[in-house]
Amino acid sequence: MSNTRRGLPITSSSIEKIFPKLTSAQIRRVEAHGHVRAVRRGEVLYEQGDTSASFFVVITGELEVVRPLFPVETLVTVFESGQFTGEVGTFSGRPTLFRVLASKSGKVIELDRQHMLALVQSHTPWFRYPPHRIQKPFLPILGCKTLLWQSAV
């Protein structure tokens, strides 16, 4: 991507807090509800503005998150093995803010909204929240303290 600016101002000490890595046990939990699929370098997983984006966990390869503003794209971050993206949009159905594409070929676990809800419900039997309130119960399943959109507030 010759027309891409590198990075937003995120310090290395905050990367793990904002973009946590899942443990192998957490990845197995997610995999039980989704499907593993190959991604090729350059493949777009979702575009800015999509309302039916899936949730993805990177197994191998890399995913770039970019903010496309003509004529220049800004690289937000790069997700590597164990990192995930799409949780907020998958739960809320809101339009995505960024484009996500494979910067290196590899494998991801993909869950659509229905399978994401099944994951949350299977690990929180007391769960009775409506879908727009699902983010908070999802955090302990993945071992996170906050989601990206919550940490920015």
| 134 pLDDT above the threshold of 60 | no
Q: Nearest 5°: phi and psi at 104?
A: -140, 140
Summarised one tens digit per residue, pLDDT across range 106-123 is: 999 999 988 988 887 776
Beta bridge partners of 85: 56
Residue 152, burial from CB neighbour count under 10 angstroms (0-12, 13-18, 19+): exposed
Best CA proximity match to 35, nearest among 50, 56, 21, 19: 56
Summarised one tens digit per residue, pLDDT across range 58-72 is: 999 999 999 988 788
Stronger pLDDT, 33 or 70, i.e. the higher one:
33
Domain ranges of the chain: 4-147
CATH 3.10.20.600 given to domain 4-147? no
Q: What is the DSSP-derived secondary structure letter of residue 60?
A: E
Give the C-alpha distances (Å, rounded to integers) separating 40 from 4, 24, 53: 19, 23, 18
3-state secondary structure 29-46: HHHCCCEEEEECCCCEEE
